[in-house]
């Protein structure tokens, strides 16, 4: 369903980025990069309030003709960006939310691994599998 | 060659062998591969083998057809019998024993022999080690033997490292050679469980006397049935059985093995191994070792190893961090960042496997999964020792010493009651979420829990809480604080229906307010309100929100108040008979409790009420003759209103005012004897004086109620200006009330009582305030005088 999933660290460098149609990878990388601006904008908009009051799910960041970009921020300013194919109209907001929740849970599991240094790229196979499960349908 | 006659057994045997060798099912067996292996297994000199091949025509054909194969086998048998290889001997030699193939073939042969020649006891499995797999004999045999050969090869290579491995235990092959072997294209797939467990041991130099001991006798026994069983079961059993079979076999050519090894075999091995996860099964000794290691880090076997400690420990194994990370992911079953004993053993096992060349699985093997059940170590150990290498149950798990790993997440909520789970809970980083649940779930007084959770206390008094407080406070005849509350609303409703509803409701509310106003706004105000209600039938039960002022100590005033009210009532009639009549039903629009000594909360409400009062007052001003009286008080109260929020009381006192003529206020004051009296007195005065006065800080709830009931009045509430308005409103309400007098006399009288009480309270309060005002004024005057006196001096 998702064509590209990215995990961006607090300092806005990617911890994990993966896209399904691998030939267009660069395009998705660029899309994710540009969406970071939107994410920051959304964060600062509600940033007046306390962090906890901020909703983690940011919703649709911006749509293009081909796909839509959704964002999600954790309380530690780690951002999840998901690019979804626009043709996939059946995708509802709740589903996107659940996908982000799964992402967040998997990310937490990765974090719990003592062998993972925060800030490293994510190489966890479990995380990969989970992302694959989210992205598989497209191929 | 031609005319080869085979006995029944031979026929079958050869057929089996051919099937085994005919891996591609092409009815042709190439000289390479299994056939070659087979012949080697026959333990014949190579020249003999060549000769056989020649004789059977394979060399001519380049392959073994079925007939050629049979011939060859027969020749092997001939050769093994020591007879010269001759074509003629094929048919001439009778009763030729079946060709024996040493090693895997040997086993097979023996098995076959047993099968065909004698229906030997296939029953007894290899000392019960390997349960016979269900009927997967033929095909698997080939693979099995192949595997066995391969295993044997590897084992042979690793002979130096470990003794014969009993089938019961994972073959302790050397890790290095095994790894080499694994690298071979021969499909030494890393899943080859065979050497896995063994190598694990090697690094730890675990002695395996038992295994070898068991292995040797078994091996030496060469009892067909066991072997048979082994072979039969090998297909389904872990490679350990194959290893067992192979181990005693003669050294095999590694290259042969390599060539022999085919993808299919490898797959079969993999399949076999994965189907039962036996390669991942932890042997007894291994487990003991792991446990000891666990103890060095964490003495408590039921405790956890934190992630950092585990990281250090496993980093020592010199595996790359990436792999360690993966191992951690696999073994930390409940994803809590800590390892229990089970998890630790699984992780350790995986580390050992990895070091020995086994690829890490994608999923945690079942045998490594921590079990939820708290199995007895002894029993499981016993099982393990007896079943190591068995494939009897794929899910045979090592004893799980620590309780519940995977289920912990789910069982946590259920565990809140047990203290030990509390301990584990506290250790778990991810328990924070459930902790909150616990907070909510845990009863305030849970004696079982070792950890005492602070029970969240409601800061905002709930209705129930308020009522409870009221209960405590009232302590008077108030049998059930709620009942008065409940009683009141009906009265209110009735009154509302009857007369200018708002006023009535206001009355009740006012009562509540008055009761509460006398004290600071507290949550208890409601309680006091309730008490008030008892006496005044006033406060609405909805006074839950704002903390009511301290409960009035005179809840029992209900009677007295009523009496007072009656008295006052009797007095007042003197002044205004008509008014009196009118008064009772005329509940002041929003009787501000006005007793609360300045609960600031009420202030705005009071203001509103006052406003409301004022709104009504203008309408009613011209109606009542008592206005004049009221106006006096009004002026008086106005001054005090400025100073006190308790003017709210006066707004409440609207009602009172309505009920009591100006004189009555004083009388009420007099009549009041309790603390409430004070307020009432104060209230009564100010009530009269400043009817529009904002309700003294009554509990917001009553105020609200008051407001609710007096919607119209509310908008204009204003303390200072309202008094007159209140008065007017009160007065205005009076005439309207009489309409329904007949209907709700009781209710009216009750409201009258309430109002009177409120009045007295308010009046008293007012008087006090006036006093204060006077004092302050005096002080001011004196100060001014002093200033004047000083000034001339300053000029000097």
CA distances from A53 to A43, A75, A81, A87, B542 (A): 11, 10, 21, 33, 31
Q: Select from B601, B649, B630 the least CA-distant residue to B732.
A: B630
In chain A, which residues have their Cβ closer than 8 Å to the Cβ of B429?
Answer: 112
Residue B586, classed as helix, strand or coil, is coil
CB atoms within 10 A of CB B26: 10
Is residue B256 within 8 A of residue B148, CB to CB? The reply is no
CA distances from B199 to A83, B152, B625, B725 (A): 46, 15, 111, 98
H helix runs in B626-744, sequence order: 627-643, 647-659, 662-671, 675-689, 700-709, 719-736, 738-741
Whether B337 and A114 lie within 8 Å, measured CB to CB: yes
Q: How far is A65 from chain B (nearest CA, A)?
A: 38
Whether A124 and B311 lie within 8 Å, measured CB to CB: no
A79-85 sheet: strands from edge to edge = A14-19, A2-8, A79-85, A67-73, A57-63
What are the residues of chain A with a beta carbon less than 8 Å away from any beta carbon of chain B?
Answer: 108-109, 112-116, 123-126, 129
State which residue of chain A sits closest to B429, comparing Cα positions: A112
Task: Spell out a b/e string for B494-529, using b for 16 or more CB atoms within 10 Å of the CB, else e.
Answer: bbbebbbbbbbbbbbbbbbbbbbbbbbbbbbbbbbb
CB atoms within 10 A of CB B163: 17
Is the per-residue pLDDT at A91 higher than 60? yes
Q: Measure CB to CB from residue B328 to each of A114, A123, A129 and give the nearest one.
A: A114
Q: Select from B175, B179, B155 the least CA-distant residue to B167.
A: B155
Confidence at residue B66, expressed as pLDDT on a 0 to 100 scale: 75
How many helices (H) does chain B have, and how many strands (E)? 38, 4
Q: Select from B518, B545, B489 the least CA-distant residue to B698.
A: B518
Q: How far is CA B274 from its chain centroid? A: 33
**Which is more confident, B620 or A75?**
A75
The mean per-residue pLDDT over the stretch A124-132 comes to 86
Whether A112 and B310 lie within 8 Å, measured CB to CB: no
Q: How far is A85 from chain B (nearest CA, A)?
A: 29
Interface with B, mutate which of A105, A109, A115, A132 (most B CBs under 10 A): A115
What A11-14 contacts at long range (C-beta under 8 Å, 24+ apart), as own/partner pairs, is A12/A36, A12/A79, A14/A121
SS3 string, B244-294, reads HHHCCCCCCCHHHHHHHCCHHHHHHHHHHHHHHCHHHCCCHHHHHHHHHHH
Helix H or strand E segment including A68: strand A67-73
Helix H or strand E segment including B305: strand B305-306
CA distances from A76 to A56, A80, A108, B737 (A): 10, 12, 11, 66
The length of chain A, given as a count of residues: 139
State which residue of chain B sits closest to A125, comparing Cα positions: B326
CA distances from B72 to B18, B316, B507 (A): 11, 56, 118
Q: Compute the distance between CA of residue A52 and CA of residue B514 in angstroms, rounded to an integer.
A: 42
What number of C-beta contacts closer than 8 Å exist between A and B? 39
Q: How far is A62 from chain B (nearest CA, A)?
A: 33
CB atoms within 10 A of CB B475: 14
Q: Which residue has the tokens 């006659």?
A: B5
Confidence at residue B306, expressed as pLDDT on a 0 to 100 scale: 84
Q: How far is B329 from chain A (nearest CA, A)?
A: 7
Whether A123 and B322 lie within 8 Å, measured CB to CB: yes
Q: Does B184 touch chain A (CB under 8 A)?
A: no
Q: Compute the distance between CA of residue B268 and CA of residue B144 in angstroms, rounded to an integer.
A: 9
Q: Does B307 touch chain A (CB under 8 A)?
A: yes
Is residue B221 within 8 A of residue B248, CB to CB? The reply is no
Confidence at residue B534, expressed as pLDDT on a 0 to 100 scale: 46
Q: Measure CB to CB from residue B308 to each of A108, A109, A114 and give the nearest one.
A: A114
Interface with A, mutate which of B314, B329, B334 (most A CBs under 10 A): B329
In chain B, which residues have their Cβ closer than 8 Å to the Cβ of A129?
Answer: 362
Q: Does B716 touch chain A (CB under 8 A)?
A: no
Confidence at residue B693, expressed as pLDDT on a 0 to 100 scale: 43
Extract the tokens encoding B718.
Answer: 């204003």
Whether B329 and A123 lie within 8 Å, measured CB to CB: no
State which residue of chain A sits closest to B364, comparing Cα positions: A126
Q: Compute the distance between CA of residue B539 and CA of residue B526 in angstroms, rounded to an integer.
A: 8
Q: Measure CB to CB from residue A124 to each of B307, B311, B325 and give the nearest one.
A: B325
Task: Spell out a b/e string for B676-692, using b for 16 or more CB atoms within 10 Å of the CB, else e.
Answer: bbbbbbbbbbbbbbbbb
Is residue B694 within 8 A of residue B719, CB to CB? The reply is yes
Q: Does B5 touch chain A (CB under 8 A)?
A: no
pLDDT tens per residue across span A19-36 = 887 677 888 888 888 898
Is residue B325 within 8 A of residue A116, CB to CB? The reply is yes
Q: Measure CB to CB from residue A112 to each of B314, B322, B337 and give the nearest one.
A: B337
Q: Does B329 touch chain A (CB under 8 A)?
A: yes
Confidence at residue B593, expressed as pLDDT on a 0 to 100 scale: 46
In chain B (796 residues long), the average pLDDT of successive 10-residue segments reads: 64 78 62 69 76 70 72 77 68 64 51 46 41 42 43 43 42 42 41 41 42 41 41 39 40 43 45 50 83 84 83 85 84 82 85 83 76 48 40 40 43 43 43 44 47 56 54 49 44 46 44 44 43 44 54 51 50 45 49 45 45 45 48 50 47 46 45 46 44 44 46 46 50 50 82 94 95 95 91 67
Confidence at residue A53, expressed as pLDDT on a 0 to 100 scale: 57
In chain B, which residues have their Cβ closer than 8 Å to the Cβ of A116?
Answer: 325
Strand A67-73 with B305-306, pairing = unpaired
**Which is more confident, A56 or A73?**
A73
Bridge partner list, A68: A63, A84
Is residue B649 within 8 A of residue B761, CB to CB? The reply is yes
Q: Does B210 touch chain A (CB under 8 A)?
A: no
Q: Measure CB to CB from residue A116 to each of B310, B314, B325 and give the nearest one.
A: B325
What values do phi and psi take at B778, rounded to 5? -60, -45
Q: Select from B356, B336, B368, B347 the least CA-distant residue to B293.
A: B347
Q: Measure CB to CB from residue A114 to each of B307, B322, B362 and give the nearest one.
A: B307
């Amino acid at each position: 369903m998702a064509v590209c999933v990215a995990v961006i660290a607090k300092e806005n460098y990617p911890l994990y980025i993966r896209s399904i149609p691998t030939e267009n990878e660069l395009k998705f990388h660029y899309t994710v990069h540009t969406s970071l601006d939107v994410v920051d904008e959304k964060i600062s908009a509600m940033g007046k309030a306390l962090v906890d009051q901020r909703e983690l799910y940011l919703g649709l960041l911006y749509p293009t003709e081909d796909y839509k970009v959704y964002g999600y921020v954790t309380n530690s300013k780690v951002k999840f960006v998901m690019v979804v194919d626009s043709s996939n109209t059946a995708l509802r907001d709740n589903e996107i939310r659940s996908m982000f929740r799964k992402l967040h849970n998997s990310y937490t599991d990765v974090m719990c691994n003592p062998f993972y240094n925060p800030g490293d790229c994510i190489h966890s196979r479990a995380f990969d599998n989970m992302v694959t499960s989210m992205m598989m349908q497209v191929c | 060659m031609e005319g080869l006659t085979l006995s029944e057994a031979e026929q079958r045997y050869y057929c089996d062998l051919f099937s085994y060798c005919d891996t591609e099912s092409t009815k042709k067996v190439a000289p390479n591969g299994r056939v070659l292996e087979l012949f080697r297994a026959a333990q014949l000199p190579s020249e003999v083998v060549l000769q056989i091949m020649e004789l059977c025509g394979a060399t001519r054909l380049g392959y073994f057809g079925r007939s050629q194969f049979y011939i060859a086998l027969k020749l092997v048998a001939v050769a093994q019998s020591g007879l010269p290889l001759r074509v003629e001997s094929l048919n001439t030699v009778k009763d030729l024993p079946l060709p024996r193939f040493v090693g895997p073939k040997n086993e097979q042969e023996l098995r076959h022999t047993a099968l065909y020649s004698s229906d030997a006891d296939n029953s007894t499995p290899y000392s019960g080690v390997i349960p016979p797999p269900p009927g997967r004999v033929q095909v698997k045999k080939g693979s099995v033997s192949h595997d066995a050969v391969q295993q044997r090869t590897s084992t042979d290579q690793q002979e130096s490292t470990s003794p014969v491995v009993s089938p019961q235990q994972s073959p302790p092959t050397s890790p290095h050679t095994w790894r080499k072997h694994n690298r071979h294209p021969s499909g030494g797939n890393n899943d080859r469980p065979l050497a896995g467990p063994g190598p694990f041991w090697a690094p730890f130099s675990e002695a395996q006397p038992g295994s070898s001991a068991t292995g040797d006798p078994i091996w030496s026994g060469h009892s067909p049935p066991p072997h048979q069983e082994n072979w039969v079961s090998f297909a389904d059993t872990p490679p350990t059985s194959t290893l067992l079979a192979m181990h005693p076999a003669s050294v095999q050519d590694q290259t042969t093995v390599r060539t022999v090894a085919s993808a299919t075999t490898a797959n079969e091995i993999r399949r076999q191994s994965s189907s039962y996860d036996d390669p991942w099964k932890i042997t007894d000794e291994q487990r003991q070792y792991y446990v000891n290691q666990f103890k060095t880090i964490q003495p408590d076997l039921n405790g956890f190893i934190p992630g950092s400690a585990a990281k250090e420990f496993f980093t020592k194994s010199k595996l790359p961090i990436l792999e360690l990370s993966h191992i951690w992911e696999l073994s930390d079953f409940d994803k809590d960042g800590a390892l229990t004993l089970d998890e630790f053993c699984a992780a350790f096992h995986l580390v050992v496997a990895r070091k020995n060349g086994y690829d890490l699985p994608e999923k945690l093997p079942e045998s490594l999964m921590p079990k939820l059940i708290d199995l007895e170590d002894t029993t499981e150990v016993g099982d393990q020792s007896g079943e190591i290498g068995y494939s009897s149950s794929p899910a045979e798990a090592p004893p799980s010493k620590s309780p519940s790993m995977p289920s912990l997440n789910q069982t946590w909520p259920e565990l809140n009651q047990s203290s030990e789970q509390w301990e584990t809970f506290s250790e778990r980083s991810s328990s924070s979420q459930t902790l909150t649940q616990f907070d909510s779930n845990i009863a305030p007084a849970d004696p079982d829990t070792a950890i005492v959770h602070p029970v969240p206390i409601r800061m905002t008094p709930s209705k129930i809480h308020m009522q409870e407080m009221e209960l405590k406070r009232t302590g008077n005849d108030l049998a059930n604080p709620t009942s008065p509350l409940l009683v009141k609303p009906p009265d209110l409703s009735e009154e509302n229906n009857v007369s200018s509803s708002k006023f009535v409701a206001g009355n009740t509310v006012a009562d509540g307010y008055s009761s509460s106003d006398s004290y600071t706004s507290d949550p208890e105000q409601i309680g006091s309100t309730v008490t008030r209600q008892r006496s005044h039938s006033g406060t609405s039960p909805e006074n839950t929100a704002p903390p009511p002022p301290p409960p009035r100590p005179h809840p029992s005033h209900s009677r007295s108040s009523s009496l007072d009210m009656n008295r006052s009532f009797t007095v007042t009639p003197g002044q205004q008979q008509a008014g009196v009549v009118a008064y009772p039903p005329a509940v002041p629009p929003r009787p501000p409790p006005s007793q609360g000594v300045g609960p600031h909360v009420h202030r705005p409400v009071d203001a509103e009420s006052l406003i409301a009062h004022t709104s009504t007052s203008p309408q009613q001003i011209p109606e009542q003759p008592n206005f004049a009286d009221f106006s006096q008080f009004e002026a008086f109260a106005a001054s005090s209103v400025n100073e006190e929020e308790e003017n709210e009381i006066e707004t409440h006192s609207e009602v009172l005012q309505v009920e009591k003529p100006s004189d009555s206020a004083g009388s009420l004051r007099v009549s009041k004897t309790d603390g409430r009296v004070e307020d009432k007195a104060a209230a009564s005065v100010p009530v009269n004086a400043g009817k529009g006065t904002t309700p003294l800080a009554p509990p917001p709830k009553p105020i609200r109620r008051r407001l609710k009931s007096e919607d119209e009045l509310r908008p204009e509430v204003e303390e200072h200006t309202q008094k007159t308005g209140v008065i007017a409103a009160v007065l205005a309400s009076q005439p309207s009330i009489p309409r329904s007098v007949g209907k709700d006399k009781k209710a009216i009288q009750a409201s009258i009582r309430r109002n009177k009480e409120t009045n007295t309270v308010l009046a008293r309060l007012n008087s006090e305030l006036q006093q204060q005002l006077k004092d302050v004024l005096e002080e001011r005057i004196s100060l001014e005088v002093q200033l004047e006196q000083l000034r001339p001096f300053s000029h000097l």
